[in-house]
Structure 1
Amino acid sequence: MRMSTKSRFAVQAMIDLALRERSGPVALAQVATRQGVSLSYLEQLFSRLRRAGLVESTRGPGGGYTLGRRPADISAADIVSAVEDEVHETGADAERMQLTRELWADLDAVLLRHLATVPLQQLAEEQRAKGVEVDHAAPRRMVEPAPAVRPLRSTAPNSVFAFGQSFAGRG
């Protein structure tokens, strides 16, 4: 395993969702703006998070992402494992790394064990304790269709002849 900016951004985005879980689905564009990350990068991360069952997506107007499980049931290790790729050295790199491979494997195991003890709920609560502003906007609603427009009814004459007859008193 390898810890990278993918892990950091994924954890930040998941904290963002956890802070706003009562507001319904959160648009990824809003998360990208708040976190200062490109939307396309977040889409890639959320694709992996969705495959791991950590988030669920809702399509259409009023759609977005919600947590796939309760925040107490998602660990930081779950998030990191979902977005990080296994690194396998090949060729000359593999030979050089043989000497330290066990050290890094042990470090990875210790790191994952620690991250497994850190629930997403705890991370979100720490952010609230630090005073992070959470805008609990009302859940977005589906777009309602415009009311039907009734055709106008007119009592005016509908032709030149009918108009003339209205002056003649016939009509």
Structure 2
Amino acid sequence: MKLSTKGRYGLMAMYQLAQDYGQGPISLKYVAEKQGLSENYLEQLFSSLKKEGLLTSTRGAYGGYMLSRKPHEITVGQVLRSLEGQMSPSECVSEDGFDCVRDDSCATRLVFAKIKDSIDRVIDSISLEDMVRDSQPGLYREELK
């Protein structure tokens, strides 16, 4: 399973907003520059993240984007699922209602289900705050909490 640019870039952008949490609205341009991403592409991603309730925005000269909740309340799983959809290695274990005729006797489905459970467990256990803390152990700021 491989993440698309949506998931990778969206997570990078959310990480940047977590780094700057508490500083008010952050411009799209700033996030794009800090993470080396396309501002136009980020605009599309932020629209999806806002619809999912992970971001808020403010218009105007000092406007921009902010996390809708504290960094420890937003998980990597929430970000990735809002941009990528379900994180499944195969359709047969997705939550999209895929109906397989071999469902009861398929050995590979059991493996795919274990992979999906492992992925979900990992991405749901890592918050944006964890990402900031892990990437900057000497600079971790208590105000993220």
| Conserved 8 A contact 1:3-1:84 | yes
State the 1:101 CA deviation: 5.8
CA distances 1:105-154 after superposition (whole Å, capped 9, x unpaired): 5423321221101111111112222669xxxxxxxxxxxxxxxxxxxxxx
Q: Give the total of aligned pairs.
A: 125
> Corresponding residue for 2:63?
63
List per-residue Cα deviations over 1:46-96 (Å, max 9, x = no partner). Answer: 11111111110111110000010111110110000110035869xxxx9xx
For the pair shown, which has the larger CA radius of gyration, 1 or 2?
Answer: 1
Structure 1: where are the runs of 5+ without partners?
133-171
Identity of aligned residues (%): 35
- Residue 59 of structure 2 is aligned to residue 51 of structure 1: no
Residue type at the aligned position of 2:33: T
Cα separation, 2, equivalents of 1:26 and 1:41: 16
Equivalent position of 1:77 in the other structure: 77
Q: CA RMSD in A?
A: 2.7
Tell me the equivalent position of 1:33. Answer: 33
Structure 2 counterpart of 1:76, which letter? V
Seen in structure 2, the aligned counterparts of structure 1 residues 20 and 102 have a Cα distance that, compared at 3 Å, is: same
| Alpha-carbon distance change, 99 to 44 in structure 1, aligned in 2, over 3 angstroms | farther
- Structure 2 unaligned runs (5+)? 93-99, 101-105, 141-145
TM-score scaled by length of structure 2:
0.73
Determine helix, strand or coil for the equivalent of 1:21. coil
Cα deviation for residue 44 of structure 1 reads: 1.1
Q: Which has the higher helix share?
A: 2
d(CA) in 1 for partners of 2:110, 2:7: 22
Return 30-39 or 106-115, whichever deviates more.
106-115
- Aligned partner of 2:118 in structure 1 is 110
**Mapped partners of 1:29, 1:7: distance in 2:** 19
Change (3 A) 1:39 1:68: same
